[in-house]
Structure 1
Amino acid sequence: MDAQTWRAGCCCLLLLALAGATRSEGVQSCEEVRKLFQWRLVGAVKGLPDSPRAGPDLQVCIPKKPTCCTRKMEERYQIAARHDMQQVLQTSSSTLKFLISRNAAAFQEALETLIRQAENYTSILFCNTYRNMALEAAASVQELFTDVGLYLFGADINPEEFINRFFDSLFPLVYNHLINPGMTDSSLEYSECIRTARRDVSPFGNIPKRVMGQMGRSLLPSRTFLQALNLGIEVINTTDHLHVSKECSRALLRMQYCPLCQGLTLSKPCMGYCLNVVRGCLAHTVELNPHWHAYIRSLEELSDAMHGTYDVEHVLLNFHVLVNDAVMQAHLNGQKLSEQVNKICGRLIRTPTQSPRCSFDGSKEKHGMKISARNDEETLANRRKEFINSLRLYRTFYGGLADELCVNELAAADGLPCWNGEDIVKSLISPSLYHPASCRPLLSALFDSTLLRTPYTLP
């Protein structure tokens, strides 16, 4: 006999032994039942029977033979059954919840880093190229990117307003330091007039509108994406807390704890029986499945659309380029702008002053305007793609939740004796299948996932 034939024979003998289990015999003592009850529900409980009794007061675990359970035990077991289902649900969804929450945190952290980097590029632009106005511009740059972050993370503010505010504050600096260099007006009212005149004289051409368009199209999808991830976590948290009806509670009690009353401490429910009970208890979650599927599809479409002018990474990291273009355009049209401002704000006596210069470390200045090449593996787009690919595996999560709980947690494996709600029943595998020649395909079938998920009919 070769090793392969010997292994097949052993497998068949094992299955024969499992299939040969007979219906349970009446328990003679309640000692094991008492110990299990006290262990499961923590601590000793008075009034537990020493030997089996008729149990006329039981409402769910109504026995055909003497039982070791009392009405009080049944009530406690019913609470335990609900708690167990709650725990199994939370365990089942924990991987999905971790996937979404981990990525929500990672995306938020990546966006925070991106905002700091974009702010740094813009500050370096002023320090490298427009040193005279760098310190005065720092507050406006910081305020702009603070507002960008607030908007991305859900604050009720308008991007158009904070972008306009940035360019409004930029114009007096450009006017004083580039159009009229070395001269600074001491009047705050005059600077305010220049700031207000910005929208009338359009010193920066169409660049503010371009920035509004690019930021509007890129910030909103990223904001929506983050909000959608947090919504997904809320959905899972809500469905984790199962609202158990009276019928479901009694069914769970009968399935999980009633066999203990007969001393069947190692029994598990039959697959078909488990599926019927758990599907009934989770009927409301099955209704979520099409909505959950649509939710994942929406995230896919949103992620796919976030490229080009919708790619927040590209837009923010190139913001300083548009700022530079805006300043240069105002500088080139300086004479015309000066005449327009004089008409609007008038001519005031001006005194020369030495503007504070940006103090920036030489090594940083040398490399300040060089944007390092991004690692393709670390871009937000690739992170989103990787996340969406992982999330697709959970498209039918709520539709198959009952099946998953029974297959992976609650029910007995195919071929093993199991609890059918009244007693232990024999294996559902036909004795004719135990012929040695049939063992190999039988074993393959036993561990095939599609078979395990198929409910069967009790004999």
Structure 2
Amino acid sequence: MFRGQLHHFVFWWILATVGLLVTVPGVGTYTCHEVQTAFQMRQIGPWKLVPETPETDVDLQVCKHQGPTCCTRKMEDSYQAAVLRDILQHMQSHIYEPMFLLIRHGADLQDNFESLISFSIDFTGSLFDRSMADVQPLVSQLFANLSLYVLGGNVTVDSAVQHFYDSLFPFVYLRMLTQGPALPDVEWTQCMRSIRRTVEPFGLYPGELVKGLAGSLLAGRAMKRAVAEGAEVLTATEKVLLSRDCERALLRMMYCPHCRGLTLIQPCEGYCLNVLRGCLAHISELDDPWRRYLTVLKVLSGAMAGDHDLELALLGVRTQIREAILHAKLHASNISAAVEMMCGQPKETVTGEYSSPETPASPSLSTPLPSASLTNETEPFVSQLSTLLRDFSRRIQHYKTIFTTLPEALCQGVAAVDAFSCWNGADVVDSYTGHVVGNGLQAQKLNPEVKVRHADPTLAEAKAKLENFIQEVLDTTPGLYSVWSWAELSSGGTEGSAECDDEDGCQGSGVGAPKNPENEKTDTSQDGVHDGKKVPPKTPPTVHPRKDRPRDTGCTMATSPTLLAATAFLLGLQWYFM
């Protein structure tokens, strides 16, 4: 009888002990050790800010919930600073590659252009022998003005070329057409420069040279400015100021679960997209002008390496000058008659020094013009610059959707994909059930997570400046490029301007982004109507609910060693009496 009573007592003691073990966590045995570890490892702040056990009645601003919390007000401020730091670092990392590509291309383009100018000066100067050494400064000045034009200076191709031929005329007349004095007086020299466009000793060749250089140099000038404009737009995205509502939404998404001890739970993918698309709505507004801008780069690169090859145009100056001088020699008698009538005969300079603002004195006499033509020396420059332009054009096009895929890129590695549970901003759920919005300011009107009230002034200014640059290129280069290129440019690009697809990153799918049923909710069009046309209503897919799964509370249960030892002893005692 005693054995039966003892067996009955042990049975109920074990049952009570197990019940006590289950109910102990609810009476204050949770700790915040996991939160302390995450707080320190993520470099949010010193672990001493985290309480040892959850507290109640904490004055939190964002991470409020019913029940005890592992957060304090100072921790919440530290979390807020950490999430802003992380999001800005990820944004800078995302735009680093196109920024680096633009900056490096600008530097490479500058180096190649300077080398090309230097080579062109020597190559064109080789047209004249030592007796025409006075012409060398004129050649250098011509290419210096052309270089200044490409770099954005206040000079035109026509003025640079016409000024060169004005200064060249007295030398050609005295050294190649007649046997005049080596050092003519200044008044006669200035008269010769002033009548050059009236006499036209070089025929139509000055105009032909302007025409041959204009398209190529204009493309080079536009490319130089385009690189700077693109880098400026990317820099503006780094200076974007996130709204207060966005900051709170980011904090709620990333770190509010920690306050409940849920340090490993991840935000739902759709929830993450809503938060980041709302925060970055102003940046996504740059998508359309950015696509058109990349089309400008593509067209300019193709022009500079093709029909309007900058290298061939500059190296071809030598041939144009040679043909112009040959034309003057063929019409020497007519030119001499016009000069004698308008400027008279030149006189020897009394001081023995020929003064000119462009050319130094030279005692050399006229000599026959040497025969010359373009040689194979130009090939290395053609291959270098053309290859550089084609490689840049190909690589920069990879970043066409950089502003629309930014939210997806930031959510990768942060949001839960194909997980059993995720964080929806308020609780741990099986999946996010909210409406997932698209990109852009207009789409954020339906965003349930972030309220976007006004446009960012910095990004609005960058967008307007980029659009003005594109329009200026369209206005200043009519007929320079092919019709299909400008049609693509005017419509914002044939890819993705009228229709959105996954490859363009519209509606947030992005290139290589994992497909998720949540993304299908981004279609804001009404059933039965699309682009003003009636279409059959879409049949919603059948969603099979997942089975309820136990969720980890994330908190640590403090179990009494004495209680466990007593339970083990009673189990052994029960086994002994059985």
After TM superposition, the score normalised by the length of structure 1 is 0.79
The 1:165–1:106 alpha-carbon spacing in structure 2 relative to 1, beyond 3 Å, is same
**2:424 matched residue in structure 1:** 420
Larger-gyration structure (1/2): 2
Secondary structure at the counterpart of residue 76 of structure 2: helix
- Structure 1 position 220 matched with structure 2 position 212: no
Q: 2:92 matched to 1:90?
A: yes
- The alpha-carbon distance between structure 1 residues 113 and 272, as it changes in their structure 2 partners (threshold 3 A), is same
Cα pair 2:44 2:82 within 8 Å, conserved: no
Name which of 195, 198, 211 aligns with 1:197: 195
Return 94-103 or 32-41, whichever deviates more.
32-41
The residue aligned with 2:363 is 355
Runs of 5+ consecutive residues of structure 1 not aligned to the other structure: 1-23, 358-364, 429-447
From the superposition, tell whether residues 75 and 366 of structure 1 become closer, same or farther in structure 2 (CA, over 3 Å): farther
1:367 offset after TM fit, Å? 11
Residues 126/366 of structure 1: CA separation in 2 closer, same or farther (3 Å cut): closer
Matches of 1:368 and 1:42, distance apart in 2: 70
Q: Does residue 396 in structure 1 map to residue 385 in structure 2?
A: no
Amino acid at match of 2:131: N
Amino acid at match of 1:132: S
**Residue in structure 1 matched with residue 79 of structure 2 by the alignment:** 77
* Gap change, CA 1:87 and 1:307, over 3 Å in 2: closer
User: Alignment RMSD, CA only?
Assistant: 3.3
Question: 1:391, CA displacement in angstroms?
Answer: 2.2
Residue 148 of structure 2 corresponds to 150
SS at the partner of 2:127? helix
Q: How does 1:102-117 map to 2 (within 5 A)?
A: 102-117=104-119
Within 5 A, what are the aligned runs for 1:270-289? Answer: 270-289=268-287
2:376 corresponds, among 340, 346, 371, to: 371
Query: 1:187 maps to which residue?
Result: 185
Provide closer, same or farther for how the CA distance between residues 55 and 275 of structure 1 changes in structure 2, counting only shifts above 3 A. farther
Match of 1:159 in 2: 157
* 1:93 shift after superposition: 1.2
TM-aligned CA distance change 1:309 to 1:355, over 3 Å: farther
> Match for 2:399: what amino acid?
Y
Q: CA 1:426–1:453 in structure 2 vs 1: closer, same or farther (change >3 Å)?
A: closer
Which residue number in structure 1 is paired with residue 390 of structure 2? 385
2:305, 2:101 → 1: CA distance? 23
State how far apart, in whole Å, the 1-side matches of 2:406 and 2:517 are: 14
Is the 2:91–2:238 Cα contact (8 Å) retained in structure 1? yes
Where does the alignment leave 5 or more consecutive residues of structure 2 unmatched? 1-24, 353-360, 433-510, 522-544, 547-578
Q: Does 1:136 align with 2:134?
A: yes
Q: In the alignment, what sits opposite 1:37? A: 39
User: In structure 2, how many angstroms separate the alpha carbons of the residues matched to 1:291 and 1:223?
Assistant: 20
1:341 match:
339
* 35-44 vs 387-396, greater mean Cα deviation: 35-44
Q: Which residue of 2 aligns with 1:327?
A: 325
Q: 1:64 to 1:27 in 2, by over 3 A?
A: farther
How much does 1:30 deviate?
2.9
Aligned with 1:451 (options 498, 506, 514): 514
Deviates more, 1:234-243 or 1:175-184: 175-184
Change (3 A) 1:349 1:377: closer
Q: Is the 8 A contact 1:419 1:425 kept in 2?
A: yes
Q: Given the superposition, is the C-alpha separation of residues 193 and 110 from structure 1 closer, same or farther in structure 2, using an over 3 Å criterion?
A: same
User: Which shows bigger deviation, 37-46 or 378-387?
Assistant: 37-46
Task: Please say if residues 275 and 455 of structure 1, whose CA atoms lie closer than 8 Å, have aligned partners that are also in contact.
Answer: no
After TM superposition, give the deviation of residue 223 of structure 1 in Å.
0.8
Tell me the distance in 2 between the aligned counterparts of 1:416 and 1:387: 44
Question: Among residues 107, 117, 125, which one is paired with 2:127 in the alignment?
Answer: 125
CA separation in 1, counterparts of 2:99 and 2:282? 19
Cα gap change, 1:369 to 1:382, in 2 (>3 Å):
closer
Shift of 1:368: 9.8
Q: 1:143 to 1:341 in 2, by over 3 A?
A: same
The Cα of 1:109 is off from its aligned counterpart by 1.9
Structure richer in helix, relative to its length: 1
For residue 49 of structure 1, report the CA deviation from its aligned partner.
2.5
TM-score (norm 2): 0.64
Residue 35 of structure 2 contacts residue 50 of structure 2 at CA under 8 Å; is this kept in 1?
Answer: no
Asked whether the 8 Å contact 1:118–1:317 carries over to 2, the reply is: yes
**Which AA in structure 1 matches 2:176?**
L
Q: 1:383: how far off?
A: 2.9
Asked whether the 8 Å contact 2:185–2:347 carries over to 1, the reply is no
Distance in 1 (alpha carbons) for counterparts of 2:513 and 2:372 = 59
May I ask how many residue pairs the two structures share in their alignment?
Answer: 406
Q: Give yes or no for contact 1:118–1:316 (8 Å, CA) kept in 2.
A: yes
The whole-number CA distance in structure 2 between the counterparts of 1:417 and 1:27 is: 25
The residue type paired with residue 424 of structure 2 is N
In 1: Cα distance, 2:203 partner to 2:382 partner: 37
8 Å CA contact 1:152–1:223 kept in 2: the answer is yes
Alignment-derived partner of residue 4 in structure 1: none
Aligned with 2:206 (options 205, 208, 215):
208
Which of 264, 279, 296 is the equivalent residue of 1:298?
A: 296
How far apart are the structure 2 equivalents of 1:27 and 1:274? 33
CA contact (8 A) 2:268 2:431 kept: no
- Residue range with higher mean Cα deviation, 316-325 or 178-187: 178-187
